């Protein structure tokens, strides 16, 4: 069993009201792969420059993540992103995006990456997502993430990708923007009509919902005392969610399995934001994840079987 992810491998500079860190290892594929590596063998498809060192590589390889399909461009520079968080730590401004080696990236997949049963198309140019989707004919579960930038400038390609995948994972604003609908529920229904059978709406620090034709499930984010750096929370969530589904290959996927996948995604994402960059998730252990999932179950359960005499 294995899982392939295509997306950004990056250097991130992040500023929060409390602290600032420069050129940390980041990128959507990096955060996703670290989270998914709890559940399956992960192959990362991406591109870096020669500023990407053995130390950066070892963050991934130390968790048995296969980096054979991370192309290295001699003389090139790795994708760079810089962002600043607002006081509420939920919204941010992008200060800088330097595509660098990403600009001419054409993924060439090894047999191992092509043969994966599960495929995740992390946030990247939709035309590249489409190319990878076409190379991974054996995948029995495919999921896609995107962002406002591609909805604005490459919507047609993005819709082609959406028509071909099983699951779409976007944040609430992006889902509404993509469909032109004013609520998550109506936007998700519109997306279900476009192809995918599963829609996940991430709502930042408020949690996430999963919507299918069978029904829906909503989970708050794990309540933390402090958040150090929310960058990559969405990708860690997706890594836990898709990773859990990869490890539970019974198809079709039931809402029961999706509820648990949501809990694992939320648990890993909550660890991700406790420290900057990949610091926390790279030393996270399986028992810590399981314990947090149990806590999430405990704090979201209630008993509705006792009768109350309502007065009207």
Query: d(Cα 47, Cα 41) in Å, to the nearest integer?
Result: 19
CB 238 → ligand AMP: shortest distance, Å? 8
CB 28 → ligand AMP: shortest distance, Å? 4
Query: Shortest CA distance to 235 belongs to which of 198, 197, 208?
Result: 208
Query: d(Cα 71, Cα 52) in Å, to the nearest integer?
Result: 11
E strands along the chain, which residues? 2-6, 10-15, 20-26, 41-49, 70-73, 79-85, 92-98, 118-121, 141-145, 167-171, 198-202, 208-211, 216-219
CB 272 → ligand AMP: shortest distance, Å? 9
CB 39 → ligand AMP: shortest distance, Å? 19
Query: Closer to ligand AMP at the Cβ: 28 or 158?
Result: 28
Query: Closer to ligand AMP at the Cβ: 95 or 299?
Result: 95
CB 223 → ligand AMP: shortest distance, Å? 19
Query: Closer to ligand AMP at the Cβ: 207 or 234?
Result: 234
Catalog residues that contact ligand AMP under the rule CB under 6 A. Answer: 8, 10, 12, 26-28, 81, 97, 123-124, 149, 231-235
Query: d(Cα 77, Cα 308) in Å, to the nearest integer?
Result: 64
Beta strands 2-6; 41-49: pairing state: parallel
Query: Closer to ligand AMP at the Cβ: 261 or 273?
Result: 273
Query: Closer to ligand AMP at the Cβ: 46 or 196?
Result: 46
Helix axes 28-36, 54-61, angle to 10 degrees: 40
């Amino acid at each position: 069993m294995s899982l392939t992810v295509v997306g950004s491998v990056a250097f991130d500079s992040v500023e929060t009201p409390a602290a600032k860190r420069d050129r940390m290892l980041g990128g959507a594929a990096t955060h996703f792969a670290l989270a998914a590596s709890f559940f399956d063998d992960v192959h990362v498809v991406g591109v870096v420059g020669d500023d990407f060192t053995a130390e950066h590589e070892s963050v991934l390889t130390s968790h048995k993540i296969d980096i054979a399909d991370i192309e290295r461009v001699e003389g090139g520079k790795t994708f760079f992103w810089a962002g600043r968080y607002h006081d509420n730590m939920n919204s941010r401004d992008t200060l800088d995006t330097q595509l660098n080696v990403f600009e001419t990236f054409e993924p060439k997949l090894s047999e191992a990456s092509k043969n994966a049963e599960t495929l995740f198309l992390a946030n990247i140019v939709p035309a590249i997502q489409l190319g990878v989707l076409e190379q991974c004919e054996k995948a029995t579960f495919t999921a896609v993430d995107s962002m406002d930038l591609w909805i604005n400038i490459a919507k047609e390609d993005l819709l082609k990708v959406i028509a071909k995948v099983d699951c779409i994972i976007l944040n609430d604003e992006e889902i509404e923007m993509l469909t032109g609908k004013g609520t998550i529920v109506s936007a998700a229904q519109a997306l279900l009509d476009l192809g995918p059978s599963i829609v996940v709406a991430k709502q930042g620090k408020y949690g996430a919902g999963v919507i299918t034709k069978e029904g829906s499930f909503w989970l708050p984010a794990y309540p933390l005392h402090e958040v150090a750096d929310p960058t990559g929370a969405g990708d860690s969530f997706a890594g836990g969610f898709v990773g859990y589904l990869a490890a539970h290959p019974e198809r079709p996927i039931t809402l029961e399995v999706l509820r648990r996948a949501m809990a694992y995604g939320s648990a890993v994402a909550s660890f991700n934001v406790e420290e900057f960059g990949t610091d926390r998730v790279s030393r996270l252990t399986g028992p810590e994840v399981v314990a947090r999932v149990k806590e999430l179950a405990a704090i979201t359960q209630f008993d509705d079987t006792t009768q109350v005499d309502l007065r009207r």
